[in-house]
Each structure stands twice: as C-alpha cells, then as structure tokens.
C-alpha cells in the first residue's frame, strides 16, 4: 500500500485523569500495540506522534518497526499531531488514527484510499451517525503545510483544516457492506467509556 499510517499518541489524556491512553489495554493488549499490529499489515511506514521525548518514546523506538516523531506544537490537539506526523510520512497518502481507537481497522483505511484515488480531493472521511470523523480518515500528505499555517495562526480545530480543502465522505453503510464493524472509529477518552470497553472485554472472554 502506497500510504503511510500516523498514530496520534501525544494527547495529555485530561479526560482520562492524565493516563496515557495509548497504554490502556483491551484483551490484555495495549491500544498502541493493537494499532501498530493493524497498520503493519497495511503499510511499511508507521509513524507514532508523541508529546515529548521520554520513556514512552524510547520504548517505541526500541521496537524498530515504527518511526517516532515529537509533536512540534505539543498540547495543541490532533491538528498539531497531524502536522508533525504527515511531515515525516514517506508516502503521498496518510491514514490518520488516534491512539484511543482500539478497533481501528485497516480495511476501512483501504476503502478510504480507494475513494481518494477515484476523486481529486485532499481527504476522505468516514461518516458515522451522520457525522464526519476526521480521525481514522485518509488525507494527502501535503495537507501538513496547511495544518502548520493554521497552528501558527493559533487555530487548532480539525474542522478548520477541513474548511481549507476539498474532501468527501464514505457513509457507514459502505463500511458495513465491506464487513467493517461500525465501531472502527470509536474512541475511548473517558473513564466511563473505558469501563464500558472492559465490560465488552469480559463478555467476549466468557
């Protein structure tokens, strides 16, 4: 696949009580490990964006199968992570996902890439419940230039990036028809959401 994968793992996890969401587990496997495994069969270029050059970054580097990028605009949200990760990507298309998406699915990324190649747009987003999902979407690498301009202007909203470029969406029914579960773009960003996930884990183990 001539596309890269960028995993955003630089958030401060405020809603999760400051916990590193990348290290939360599902099925005894850390979220970040699940995502790297999913992406590794899809691309030869996986980039993990982190907030600082600490123990977490060093542990990732030791793996040898991912590139680690430090967020230049740390604390400024997903737009900042996109800018840092996309600037380092080797391929013209980039699958963007967040570290708190335990059901990230490369089959969905492939469908997004197919649509990207069919249309002259800069991004293709899943439309879930009628809402576009800017994370777990595919973009052209060069959008990092626009992201940097926005960040330098003090803008940090992902919607501001979408407002600056052409994009299209794929409805959830298309993913469902391809066998991709609806939850592929779900995120786990609160203790309550994590507890619900753990209940799912328990029921699946039984």
Structure tokens at 122: 């800069």
Q: Is 45 annotated as a binding residue?
A: no
Structure tokens at 193: 């959401």
* 206 Cβ contact list (under 8 Å, min separation 6): none
C-alpha distance across the termini of the chain, in Å = 37
Q: Is 71 annotated as a binding residue?
A: yes
Beta strands in 41-191 (DSSP E): 46-50, 67-70, 93-98, 123-128, 131-132, 137-140, 167-171
Q: Is 10 annotated as a binding residue?
A: yes
Computed over its alpha carbons, how large is the radius of gyration of the chain? 16
Q: Is 141 annotated as a binding residue?
A: no
- CA 39 to centroid of chain Cα atoms: 11
For residue 126, report the phi and psi dihedrals to the nearest 5 degrees: -70, 145
Give the three-state DSSP class for 103. coil
Q: Is 59 annotated as a binding residue?
A: no
CB atoms within 10 A of CB 79: 22
Feature table: binding site for GTP: 8-10, 21, 71, 100
Binding site for Mg(2+), residues?
A: 100
**Which residues are documented as binding site?**
8-10, 21, 71, 100
């Amino acid at each position: 696949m001539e596309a890269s994968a960028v995993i955003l793992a630089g958030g401060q996890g405020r809603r999760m009580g400051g916990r590193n969401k990348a290290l939360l587990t599902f099925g005894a496997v850390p979220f970040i490990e699940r995502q790297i495994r999913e992406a590794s069969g899809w691309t030869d270029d996986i980039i993990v964006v982190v907030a600082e050059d600490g123990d977490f970054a060093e542990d990732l580097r030791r793996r040898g199968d991912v590139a680690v990028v430090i967020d230049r605009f740390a604390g400024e949200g997903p737009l900042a992570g996109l800018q840092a990760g996309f600037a380092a990507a080797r391929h013209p298309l980039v699958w963007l996902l967040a570290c708190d998406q335990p059901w990230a699915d490369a089959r969905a990324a492939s469908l997004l890439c197919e649509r990207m190649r069919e249309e002259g747009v800069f991004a293709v987003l899943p439309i879930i419940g009628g809402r576009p999902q800017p994370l777990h979407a595919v973009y052209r690498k060069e959008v990092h230039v626009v992201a940097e301009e926005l960040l330098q202007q003090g803008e940090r909203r992902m919607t501001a990036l979408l407002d600056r470029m052409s994009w299209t969406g794929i409805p959830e029914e298309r993913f469902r028809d391809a066998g991709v579960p609806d939850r592929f773009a779900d995120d786990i960003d609160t203790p309550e959401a994590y507890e619900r996930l753990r209940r799912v884990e328990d029921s699946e183990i039984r």
